[in-house]
Amino acid sequence: MRSGHKIEMSDLHSFVTVAERGSFSAAALDLHLSQPALSRRIAKLESTLGVCLIERTTRRVDLTAVGRDFARKAREVLNAFESSLLGINEGTSHLYGEVTVACVPSAVIHFLPDVLKEYRRLYPRILVRVMDEGASHALSSVVRSEADFGINYIGAQEINIEFKPMFKERFVLACLDDHPLAAQPSVTWAEIQEYDYIAVAKASGNRFLLDLALADVPTLPHPVCEARHVRTVVDMVEAGLGVAAVPLLAIPRPSAHSRLRSIPLEAPQVFRTLGLIRRRGRVLSHAAEQLYAMIQQWSMERKD
């Protein structure tokens, strides 16, 4: 590092944001800076260190080998600084920041509210952004560092993703309470054939799981309607358009006004596993790490 020059925390924060977003424009939006101002910060940091951290191209931003190593260390420095503020402020209530969680919609209502209530009590000044997206988009958001971490049922096979299982859920038949199948303790896939069946579109992660699990089943229902998202499929069932096979968490919590019923599906049983996903090797901020740990702890207590 050049003598007489000091590295400022704002410059470190700017560099780490650029590194994680992979884009000057996206990082500038996050930091509420103009792109020229952000570029000046990065240039000043590179000048202070006397090294090139970023290789700039017309389409994207790539880190140099030195830049990749420095990004990890800079993130650790920022996290340590953030954590030290807790002691200075005599508690967590004064900690500022943002946490972004990419979560499949069916898991939002069931996994997040109780945890977020407690998190807000501990960290009232931290903004939590929930990106309720389809499985593929939620996974991509974590891979591209648009989200700190996520809750998803895909990602376990991704080499750059760390997947920690939380909850295994079964696919069930969603129908109205006056449907002929509603009174049965369970339903086979063959029994659904004679009824109007609503499916998620083939681009859906849930459709992929079902098609894979049912590949050897000779008799399957043929959909009369498809929708992109599971929650839309459930809305269609509730409107009386037919029945659908959906993950259990996609069924809204029971209420006095809901006529939805969920019946276990058999022959075969199909499951999906929801888990916490984060980019492998990424060091989370203190705020994000605390929320990640709280969700993980909540899921463990639920299993018990």
pLDDT value of position 244? 95
Phi/psi for 51 (5° steps) reads -140, 160
State the Cα–Cα distance between residues 296 and 106, nearest whole angstrom: 17
Q: Which CATH number fits domain 9-87: 3.30.2000.10, 1.20.59.20, 1.10.1760.20, 1.10.10.10?
A: 1.10.10.10
pLDDT value of position 5? 61
Q: List, in order, residues 6 or more apart from 27 with CB less than 8 Å away.
A: 14, 17, 18, 20, 21, 38
Place of tokens 């009174």: 183
- CA atoms within 13 A of residue 141's CA, in its CB half-sphere: 23
Same-fold call for 9-87 versus 91-166+274-303 = no
| Tokens found for residue 278 | 């984060």
Report the relative pairing of strands 260-266 and 149-152 from DSSP bridges: unpaired
pLDDT value of position 93? 53
The answer to whether the bond into 223 is cis (omega within 30° of 0) is no
DSSP state at residue 27: H
- Please report, for the chain, the start and end positions of each structural domain, with discontinuous segments joined by +: 9-87, 91-166+274-303, 167-272
- State whether residue 158 is helix, strand or coil: coil
* 91-166+274-303: CATH number: 3.40.190.10
128-159 pLDDT, tens per residue?
A: 989 988 888 899 989 888 889 999 999 888 88
pLDDT value of position 95? 61
CB 255 within 8 A of CB 274: no
SS3 of the chain: helix, strand, coil, percent, to 5 = 45, 25, 35
| Angle between helices 9-21 and 35-49 in degrees, nearest 10 | 110
Q: List, in order, residues 6 or more apart from 250 with CB less than 8 Å away.
A: 106, 174, 230, 231, 233, 234
pLDDT tens per residue across all 304 residues of the chain? 555 567 888 888 888 888 877 788 888 887 888 888 888 888 888 888 888 888 876 566 788 888 888 887 887 777 666 655 554 454 555 566 788 999 998 888 777 888 999 998 888 888 898 998 888 889 998 988 888 999 999 988 888 899 999 989 999 999 999 999 999 999 999 999 999 999 999 888 888 889 888 888 888 888 999 998 888 999 999 999 999 999 998 888 766 677 899 999 999 999 999 999 998 877 787 888 889 999 998 888 766 5
Q: List, in order, residues 6 or more apart from 223 with CB less than 8 Å away.
A: 197, 198, 199
Q: What is the pTM of this model?
A: 0.69
167-272: CATH topology: D-Maltodextrin-Binding Protein; domain 2 (3.40.190)
Q: List, in order, residues 6 or more apart from 272 with CB less than 8 Å away.
A: 153, 168, 169, 171, 206, 209, 247
